[in-house]
Amino acid sequence: MARKFLYGIAILIMLALAAAFTYRYWGMQIMRQAMVPSAEFTPLPEAPPSAYARADMWIARPDKPGNPALWTPEGFQPAGDPAAAVFFLHPTSFLDRSRWNAPLDDARANNYAEIFLRGQASAFNEVGAIWAPRYRQATFGAFLTSKQQAQQALDFAYRDVLAAFEQFLDEAGDRPIVLAGHSQGALHLSRLLAERIAGTPLADRIVAAYVVGWPVSATADLPAMGLPACEGPDQAGCILSWQSFSEPADPSLIFDTFDATTGFTGASRAGTPLVCTNPVTGRAGDSAPAQANLGTLIPDSRLANATMVPGRIPARCDGRGILLIGSDVPEMGPYVLQPGNNYHVYDYSLFWANIRADAARRLAAFGA
């Protein structure tokens, strides 16, 4: 019986190794088949000019009941009358492969978007009133292919983002502005900086831009984005960016795609250094021990709530500009991306309390 048991364990180990080997060498092909739409790109109707004047076009805005961006963990409270205005773009929440862009009424995508706002945009509710638009974002599969339809889907999503931003400017008045986004939201935010804000009076109103979970080339992108990278924690009018990996890290899947593209300056991004802000210290290219982490949000199994745990996650910028968080990472949930030990989904949660303190510090510097 013992020998049969050992044989069974050996077979399970072999199956696990075979599965890992298969994913390592054919995982991207499998993901593409499962997630990339096979349909032709068909644009959804253009949003009318006044679309974002309607409250239902926003997941979060100051007058919206049940605003998910006002969630806070125990021990924290949103400000009653915050000084700044925050424009937040949530990451990809649409996973359907039947179409290239999300419809505005997709219940599953909207539910995920609200979860993202609770865990990400909430970090800014002490410094600013938060506007977070619904936008007909590109589906997840658009990031796994070089098909022309993928870029068409991203361009279409950006048009919604731009329309929402113009309405945000009308409603925010003359308050200082914090820009923040994650993943696909950060991609659109970087484009918004380069195409709508750089070289305009708006650039002087930006407290900081948190372009998180999307690579920003220090040479091929940053010079065209109108703001410098944040070098220190008390600097205002600058850009923060990071991408989180536990060790041993393998960012090759990201770099392979990123290096095949052209930056906002028109130069190739291949091999260029990335902007890496350490979110624990607020410094570029920095290193910080776990004890300096003011608090990580560890979500529950239903993603309905989260517990604040300080002093667990270190951070150091490494290599071309990825953020390493050590190898002893607490269980965050099932969404760590493999292969590579990519903690992309948790880029904000890992450093939630430090991001909150960082935004307050930069707003104070802006006012000074």
The answer to whether residue 30 sits within a structural domain is no
The answer to whether residue 60 sits within a structural domain is yes
Question: With 50 as the cut, is the pLDDT of residue 47 above it?
Answer: yes
In this prediction the pTM is: 0.91
The answer to whether residue 66 sits within a structural domain is yes
The answer to whether residue 346 sits within a structural domain is yes
Burial of 229 (0-12, 13-18, 19+ CB in 10 A): buried
Burial of 203 (0-12, 13-18, 19+ CB in 10 A): middle
In sequence order, what are the beta bridge partners of 84?
A: 128
3-class SS of residue 57? helix
The answer to whether residue 156 sits within a structural domain is yes
The answer to whether residue 117 sits within a structural domain is yes
Quote the CA–CA distance of 97 and 139 in Å, as a whole number: 7
List the alpha helices (DSSP H) in the chain.
Answer: 2-35, 107-119, 148-172, 184-192, 252-258, 352-367
Question: With 70 as the cut, is the pLDDT of residue 2 above it?
Answer: no
Quote the CA–CA distance of 196 and 225 in Å, as a whole number: 9
Task: Kindly state the average pLDDT of the residues 20-39.
Answer: 55
pLDDT band at 361 (very low <50, low <70, confident <90, very high): very high
pLDDT band at 338 (very low <50, low <70, confident <90, very high): confident
pLDDT of residue 38: 65
Percentage of the chain beyond pLDDT 70 is 89
Number of domains in the chain: 1
Degrees, nearest 5: CA angle 251-279-133? 85
Q: Which structure tokens are listed for 136?
A: 């007909």
Question: With 70 as the cut, is the pLDDT of residue 185 above it?
Answer: yes
- The answer to whether 315 and 347 have CB atoms below 8 angstroms apart is no
Task: State pLDDT tens for residues 61-89.
Answer: 999 999 999 999 999 999 999 999 999 99
Task: State pLDDT tens for residues 287-306.
Answer: 999 999 999 999 887 777 89
- The answer to whether 116 and 75 have CB atoms below 8 angstroms apart is no
The answer to whether residue 18 sits within a structural domain is no
The answer to whether residue 34 sits within a structural domain is no
DSSP string computed for 11-27: HHHHHHHHHHHHHHHHH
pLDDT of residue 368: 86
Q: Among 340, 87, 286, which Cα is nearest to 192's?
A: 87
pLDDT of residue 276: 98
Domain that holds residue 162: 43-367
3-class SS of residue 308? strand
Q: What is the mean pLDDT of the chain?
A: 89
Cis ω before 248 (30° cut-off from 0) = yes
Which H/E stretch holds residue 87?
Answer: strand 84-89
Quote the CA–CA distance of 142 and 153 in Å, as a whole number: 7
Task: State pLDDT tens for residues 241-286.
Answer: 999 999 999 999 889 889 999 999 999 999 999 999 999 999 999 9
